[in-house]
């Protein structure tokens, strides 16, 4: 158990709908990362938040947004869902060093499996 929790474990919805995925980082970790994992694309970095602020952005679609709250939990919002958005969505957390310094270890949650029908 990594100490990172994600809810829900499974989500089934229809095209055009909007869903929210939730992540609670490990105790003491200030940074949260979101990833999308599909069979053909592998693990794709979406976005990173550090202590409530966006720090790095990857291949995140405009239909997707995220935020990190004062209690450090994070939510990933996916809207106008398409069939191709079906994937595993992982959250990872880390202590995260100050900007521009050494990278650190990410601990992954169990993931949310999203199925868009």
Partner 1 sequence: QKEVEQDPGPLSVPEGAIVSLNCTYSNSAFQYFMWYRQYSRKGPELLMYTYSSGNKEDGRFTAQVDKSSKYISLFIRDSQPSDSATYLCAMSAVRNTGNQFYFGTGTSLTVIP
The binding site for partner 1 (CB under 8 A) comprises: 2, 4, 33, 35, 41-45, 48, 50, 55-56, 58, 90, 92, 96, 99-111
Q: Is the dihedral of CA 47, 49, 54, 56 positive or negative?
A: negative
Between 14 and 56, CB nearer to partner 1: 56
Residue pair 30/50 in contact by the 8 Å Cβ criterion: yes
Mapped onto helix, strand or coil, the DSSP state of residue 85 is helix
Q: Which two tokens stand for residue 75?
A: 């939510």
Specify the residue, 18 or 57, whose C-beta has the smaller distance to partner 1.
57
Of 111 and 116, CB closest to partner 1: 111
The two most distant CA atoms of the chain are separated, in Å, by 43
- For the chain, what's the residue count? 117
Shortest approach of partner 1 to residue 8 CB, angstroms? 14
Could you tell me the smallest distance in angstroms from the CB atom of residue 106 to partner 1?
7
Min dist. Cβ of residue 44 to partner 1 (A): 8
Closer residue to partner 1 in complex, CB, 14/43: 43
117 Cα distance to chain centroid: 21
């Amino acid at each position: 158990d990594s100490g990172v929790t994600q809810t829900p474990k499974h989500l089934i919805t229809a095209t055009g709908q909007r869903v929210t995925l939730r992540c609670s980082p490990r105790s003491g970790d200030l940074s949260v990362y979101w990833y999308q994992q599909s069979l053909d694309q592998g693990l794709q970095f979406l976005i990173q938040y550090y202590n409530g602020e966006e720090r790095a952005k990857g291949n995140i679609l405009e239909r997707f947004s995220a935020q990190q709250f004062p209690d450090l939990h994070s939510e990933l919002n996916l809207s106008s869902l398409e069939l191709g958005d079906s994937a595993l969505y992982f959250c990872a957390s880390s202590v995260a060093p100050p900007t521009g310094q050494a990278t650190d270890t990410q601990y992954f949650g169990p993931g949310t499996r999203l199925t868009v029908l």
